[in-house]
Amino acid sequence: MKIIFLSLASLLLISSTGAAQPEWSQVPKILKRIVAPKFPKRDFVITNFGAVADGKTDCTAAIAKAIDACVKKGGGRVVVPSGEFLTGAIHLKSEVNLHLETNAVLKFSTDPKAYLPVVFTRFEGTELYNFSPLIYALGQKNV
């Protein structure tokens, strides 16, 4: 009985390690396709769009305005300066680099309404519509 069990266990081990090899052989191809994003040298500081670094004022709209202005100019950095900024969901768009300076803190709201409307997302591998993640960029490029 021991011999049969050990034989089956060995066979299972050998077959499972062989199946994993082709996936790992794809790694070099995948790594070659990954390139660092490049952004225009333009800064859009969120405080210039109404954000207040007090950790209490909702800065969601100001951050969204900075992102929209960045996109209209062809991309760049949306800069969060030093300080504490309260926000809801941040929806990034193509060509936007969200940059936090030293000692900058994004304090995300605990109010569920700050993450509506629902968006297409995944939870534990299941695709669904749910509250927005803290930072969301579905379908965007170069973020």
Look up tokens 């069990």; give the residue: 5
pLDDT at 23: 86
Give the residue extent of every domain in the chain. 2-33, 43-136
C-alpha 55: how far from chain center: 22
- pTM of the predicted model as reported, rounded to 2 decimal places: 0.78
Q: How is domain 43-136 classified at the architecture level of CATH?
A: 3 Solenoid (2.160)
Q: What is the pLDDT of residues 48-81, one digit of tens each?
A: 999 999 999 999 999 999 999 999 999 999 999 9
Please list, in sequence order, all residues whose beta carbon lies within 8 angstroms of the beta carbon of residue 127, skipping any fewer than 6 positions away: 120, 121
